Amino acid sequence: MNSTRPITMVEKQYLVSYLALLAERETDVPDAWREVIGQEHIKRCLMIAAVSQRLVVLCGTGHNGERLLMAGAASLGVPTLFTTPCPCGYFNDPHEACKCSAAKIERHQRAWAKSCPCPGPCMWAVVPPVPQREIVRHAKGERSGSGLDGILQRVETARARTVCCVLSTETEALLLSAIASFNLSADTVEYLLDVAVDIAKFDGDESLGIMHLSEAIQYRYTRP
């Protein structure tokens, strides 16, 4: 398996266009990583993607830090795309009622799956609503997580690590179960194994384990 897949020309085009957008709109945000409210799981996804510069699709309402998350991703060289779970963006949102009919939601999700410009398998992350306690902490000036310099150093360290990719019996069982449960294609399986290797590198582990694969499976494309 190839754990250091080079970025494709299509992904480069996404990155170049988004960096141009950042140059116009994000000059007032010196370190987007410190300004995102909460979203630690999504931040981790983007940092892992940075190990091999993988394309990440963020799915959310557009009101939970997605703009800053995409800015932070761009600072790591990670290309991103954004979509919503439905036309209004609030499908399954616990705080806002979705205004879309079931038929509209179905058409929206089918259209995205059919016309998604991703050149192949990609990492998929659903951006959840920000908890109120995180908003209060941010308003008080409290910040969590590392800034850009610390993240870049961790990513560079991860890239230099070597991971043993021999699957244990339990890890192989999990993979076979995922293939059967989610009807995964051969390309998707190889991609998830590569992501699992990146997770192991990012966490500083020497071998690929069941927890790495389990997390990688969470980043596969799923309909909202």
Each residue of 164-196: pLDDT tens digit?
999 999 999 999 999 999 999 999 999 999 999
Look at the chain and report how many structural domains it folds into. 1
Q: What is the percent of the chain with per-residue pLDDT over 70, rounded to a whole number? A: 79
Indicate whether 126 belongs to any domain: yes
Indicate whether 155 belongs to any domain: yes
- Mean pLDDT for 134-140 is 69
Write down the pTM of the prediction.
0.79
Q: Can you give the pLDDT at residue 143?
A: 64
CB-CB contact of 81 with 55 (8 Å)? yes
Enclosing domain of residue 30: 9-159
139's CB contacts (< 8 A; 6+ apart) are none
Q: What is the percent of the chain with per-residue pLDDT over 90, rounded to a whole number? A: 46
Residue 121's closest CA among 171, 194, 72, 176?
194
Indicate whether 190 belongs to any domain: no
CB-CB contact of 32 with 26 (8 Å)? yes
3 or 32, greater pLDDT: 32
Indicate whether 51 belongs to any domain: yes
Q: What's the residue count for the chain?
A: 224
